[in-house]
Amino acid sequence: MKKNLIIAAFAATALIACKDDKKEMDDVDDMSMETEMEMDDNMKMEESTTAKVSYTKDDAEKMQLDFEESVMVENDRATTIQGWTVYNTVNNDIVALRAANADTRMTASQKLRADFNQLKNSIPAYMNVRRVRRAVEDVDNEITDFEEDAADASTSERKMEKNLENISEAYDDLAEAIAKARKQYIENKADAMEEYLEEVNDIDSGQTTDERYRDAREEYNEEMDQK
């Protein structure tokens, strides 16, 4: 009987030890799982902040087609741009402002400013080159000059007319700049897009996506010689 009790005691001790070992192993597994999950979460966070965005050949070809097919050119000036209707809207605003009298000039000026702000903040990606950006900035400066002079009661009508003429000329220069950019794009697009894609797709450079796109745009402008 005593012998049986001793054996039972040993068995119970072994069972408890096994349970402890199992719990220990479970704890290790749980810690391992937690670590794995933490690593997975960290990797996901890292991936989300340094996403490897690749600009494909199809995207590049689409950009080429966009510039060639969307921009209508007559007499070396862009007349219509599909998908960017505000371009024609601003042109109509300038015509309306020049035709406005003293009573309607302020309203016409405000509409021009609102539409032009929309234009400069929505330049199509394929057209966002140095030559075009500079022309847009020139128009912006001429509109600002007009607004400042219009706010000064001492400004002569002659000066106001001159400002309106300058706005029209600057917008005409923008139309010419877009046409020139389109022409250069067609002529140089193969080399430009090759350089662009090379920079954008250099995912092993250690740069962020924004930095790669910045460098790609610089390479693109150099190849396109948009000055």
Query: Is residue 36 over pLDDT 90?
Result: no
Which residue type sits at 115?
D
pLDDT computed for residue 223 by the predictor:
65
Question: Same domain, yes or no, for 164 and 115?
Answer: yes
pLDDT computed for residue 224 by the predictor:
58
Taking the mean position of all CA atoms in its chain, how far away is CA 88?
Answer: 23
Question: Same domain, yes or no, for 110 and 200?
Answer: yes
Question: Same domain, yes or no, for 121 and 220?
Answer: yes
What is the signed CA dihedral for 123, 83, 184, 121, rounded to 10 degrees?
A: 0
What is the rounded average pLDDT for all residues in the chain? 76
Question: Same domain, yes or no, for 197 and 94?
Answer: yes
pLDDT computed for residue 62 by the predictor:
62
Residues 6+ apart with CB under 8 A from 110: none
Question: Same domain, yes or no, for 36 and 127?
Answer: no
Q: What is the band of 205 on the pLDDT scale with cuts at 50, 70, 90?
A: confident
The tokens describing 76, both together, are: 């070396």
Question: Same domain, yes or no, for 32 and 113?
Answer: no
Question: Same domain, yes or no, for 94 and 33?
Answer: no
Q: Are residues 176 and 183 in contact, defined by beta-carbon separation less than 8 angstroms?
A: no
Give the chain's domain count. Answer: 2
Half-sphere exposure of 73 (CA within 13 A, CB side): 17
The full DSSP string for the chain is: -HHHHHHHHHHHHHHHHHHHHHHHHHHHHHHHHHHHHHHHHHHHHHHHHS------HHHHHHHHHHHHHHEEEETTEEEEETT-THHHHHHHHHHHHHH--TTTHHHHHHHHHHHHHHHHT---GGG-SHHHHHHHHHHHHHHHHHHHHHT-TT--HHHHHHHHHHHHHHHHHHHHHHHHHHHHHHHHHHHHHHHHHHHHT-TTSS--HHHHHHHHHHHHHHHHT--
Burial of 21 (0-12, 13-18, 19+ CB in 10 A): exposed
Q: Are residues 93 and 105 in contact, defined by beta-carbon separation less than 8 angstroms?
A: no
Residues 6+ apart with CB under 8 A from 128: 217
Q: What is the mean pLDDT of residues 45-51?
A: 39
- The predicted-structure confidence for 52-95, as pLDDT tens digits, reads as follows 445 455 665 566 667 788 899 999 999 999 999 999 999 999 99
Question: Same domain, yes or no, for 108 and 169?
Answer: yes
Give the range of the structural domain holding residue 209, as residue numbers without chain letter.
Answer: 57-224
Query: Is residue 24 over pLDDT 50?
Result: no
Question: Same domain, yes or no, for 100 and 66?
Answer: yes
Question: Same domain, yes or no, for 64 and 98?
Answer: yes
Q: Which of 32, 49, 66 is the last residue of a domain?
A: 49
Burial of 163 (0-12, 13-18, 19+ CB in 10 A): buried
Question: Same domain, yes or no, for 16 and 69?
Answer: no
Question: Same domain, yes or no, for 64 and 25?
Answer: no
Q: In terms of pTM, does the model score above 0.85?
A: no
Q: What is the mean pLDDT of residues 15-41?
A: 41
